[in-house]
Structure 1
Amino acid sequence: MSDHLVVCTHCGGVNRLPEQRPAQDGKCGKCGSKLFEGHPADVGGELFDKQVARSSVPVLVDVWAPWCGPCRAMAPAYEQAARELEPAVRLIKLNSDANQQIAARLGIQGIPTMILFERGRERARTSGAMPAQQIVRWVRQHLPA
């Protein structure tokens, strides 16, 4: 088995975690922050790209905006899904207003949109607010066992 690469949501440091070590206990070797905190980090720019490109852990991104009612309504469900899915999946949020170039590059046409990335490639995409258990089911059906 191989090690996992996990990108810190605080400083962007890339951390190598042995597969046999519990990832939820991992700390960033660069800044000392916990690697998995049980809630989605709001990221943008370079940190978004690094999460998707460098992490060997699948990354689920919620593309949202502060003015979007369904986005705000889904936020607690996304938070709950993070507690259930981490550390097997990294959950992050991308504010489409603050990161318009990334949203355009991703082809976002409506929000909220969730995109599941695995090893730098888009694996699945869905739009519309979902309850926590539906988010968890959707992610699990798109990842290999």
Structure 2
Amino acid sequence: MSETTLHIVCPHCHTTNRVRADQLASAPTCGQCKQPLFAGHPVALGDEATFDKHVARSQIPVLVDFWAPWCGPCRMMAPAYEQAAVLLEPHMQLAKVDTEAVPALGTRYNIRSIPTLALFASGREVARQAGALTNPAQIVQWARAHAPLT
């Protein structure tokens, strides 16, 4: 098991990196930009291509917060989501999609209310939670309960 390698997409330059599974917790850095692969906060996915790359190529689950800047519940959930990133990394990558800036993703995934959390594994959506979770422990519990076993 220690020789298993995983593809992890860099949150900074979006290059796909290979990381040994037993090295995930050892603060791996990107081979391209040398930045940490796990920064302890969600990565903003600002366009469809970047979103597709993270969801399709990362071999760890990707938890996405679909939100909008005008949304009160989204703003209420944001600090808890930020704290959840610290607790879930490096076994899960957290990301945010501003549905105002990238409306095509909201349409593609039929996002009808925000905030909506969607958990992706192996390039496909495996779970969804509509509505704000304002406690980091709630987010972590929900994500871990729905993440596929690795």
Normalising to structure 2: TM-score of the pair? 0.93
Counterparts of residues 89-128 of structure 1 (less than 5 Å): 89-128=92-131
Stretches of 4+ aligned residues off by more than 2 angstroms:
none
Structure 2 portions without partners, runs of 5+: none
1:77 aligns with 2:80: yes
Q: Percent identity?
A: 51
Q: Residue in 1 aligned with 2:29?
A: 27
How many correspondences in the alignment?
Answer: 145
Paired amino acid for 1:91: L
1:133 aligns with 2:137: yes
The offset of 1:43, in angstroms, is: 1.1
The offset of 1:57, in angstroms, is: 0.7
Normalising to structure 1: TM-score of the pair? 0.96
Q: Residue in 1 aligned with 2:46?
A: 44
**Structure 1 residues 101 and 143: alpha-carbon distance in aligned structure 2, compared to 1, 3 A threshold:** same
Superposed CA deviations along residues 103-135 of structure 1, whole A, max 9, x for unmatched, are 100111010000000110111001111021111
Superposition RMSD on alpha carbons, in Å?
Answer: 1.1
**Structure 1 residues 51 and 59: alpha-carbon distance in aligned structure 2, compared to 1, 3 A threshold:** same
Structure 1 portions without partners, runs of 5+: none
